[in-house]
Amino acid sequence: MKKSCKFCGRAHPAGAACSSRPKAGGGRANTRIRSFRNSYAWQRKRAEIQGRDHYMCRACIQEGRITYTGLGVHHIEPLSERFDLRLSDSNLISLCDGHHKAAGNGDLSRRSLADIVKQDIPPRASILSKKPVRQHPL
């Protein structure tokens, strides 16, 4: 009997291992990153960055849209490569789910995200005068 795989979406014989299944463990670096993501320092910094970005996706603002749901704070330089920049304001940006996935996949370049962070955010009143968009089309 075959079962649907939650990792790849294909059907495999019952009990078969899927090659798309994440590997267990992760090593010392992943433990350090996981520990950091659960830390009080990260929770505070994440809230601070979202406040700085007016609780809106900075990439959507660049595109002339306003998205304020499904926000996360993205590390422009990944923690696995630059753990020393984990709490650096210039390495953090608020992104909606769609842009966060695009940034993680490399569809949004690190340079473009860093440039967005360097730009001043328009005054809140001018941002809010635009029509809000709840869901990102990505």
Residue 100 in this model has a pLDDT that exceeds 90: yes
Number of domains in the chain: 1
> What is the reported pLDDT for 39?
92
90, part of any domain: yes
Which pLDDT belongs to residue 56?
92
Query: Is the residue at 109 inside a domain?
Result: yes
| CB atoms closer than 10 angstroms to residue 108 | 20
With a cut of 80, say whether residue 137 has pLDDT above it: no
Q: At what angle do helices 27-37 and 40-52 cross, to 10 degrees?
A: 60
Predicted structure pTM score: 0.69
Determine, yes or no, domain membership for 64.
Answer: yes
**Residue 19 is assigned to a structural domain of this protein:** no
Nearest-10 Cα torsion for 72, 94, 99, 39: -30
71 in Cβ contact with 55 (< 8 Å):
yes
Residue 125 pLDDT level (bands cut at 50, 70, 90): very low
Q: Tell me: the pLDDT tens digits for 42-88?
A: 999 999 999 999 999 999 988 888 888 899 999 999 988 899 999 99
Range of the domain at 37: 25-128
